[in-house]
Amino acid sequence: MDIFVDYIWVFLIGGLVCMFGEVLIITTNITSARILVTFEMIGLVLEAIGVYDYISDFAKAGVNVPIIGFGASLAKGAIGAVETHGFLGIFTGGLTATAGGIAAAIGFAFLFALIFKSHTKK
């Protein structure tokens, strides 16, 4: 039963986050690149001021799956690396923490670009 309630929360919070993106689209006609950057920065700031973990403990995939989570791991990586490696961590932290996502996005995009062709919109 607990798990069911968890999923409801994930659905509600994730949905609301995405709906906020749609609100931005409707009110400002913003392009998708700007939306992605905006949400990424929200996550980064939340992590940097140390509140992201509390939100993510509760909301789980509701904030981890939106690109907010990507921004948060950039900040988390940078902070963690500075703690362990000192000055070098400033440069290595962010990308190390998000390496999986970026590599996957590049790798799969390359793979599927080789396989598929673009389709005309209906």
Does residue 51 interact with other proteins by CB under 8 A?
Answer: no
Given the structure tokens 């799969």, which residue do they identify?
Answer: 108
Q: Cβ of residue 38: shortest distance to other proteins, in angstroms? A: 9
Query: CA of 3: how far to CAs of 16, 17, 64, in Å?
Result: 20, 21, 17
Which string of x and - marks every residue 10-29 that binds other proteins (by CB under 8 A)?
A: xxxxxxxxxxxxxxxxx--x
Closest approach, Cβ 32 to other proteins, in A, equals 5
**What 3-state DSSP class applies to 122?**
coil
| Interacting positions 102-121 with other proteins (CB under 8 A) | 102, 104-106, 108-121
Note whether 55 binds other proteins by CB under 8 A.
Answer: no
Q: How far is the CB of 41 from other proteins (least distance, A)?
A: 7
Tokens describing residue 102: 């970026």
Instruction: Please report how many Cα atoms fall inside a 13 Å half-sphere around the Cα of residue 116, on the Cβ side.
Output: 9
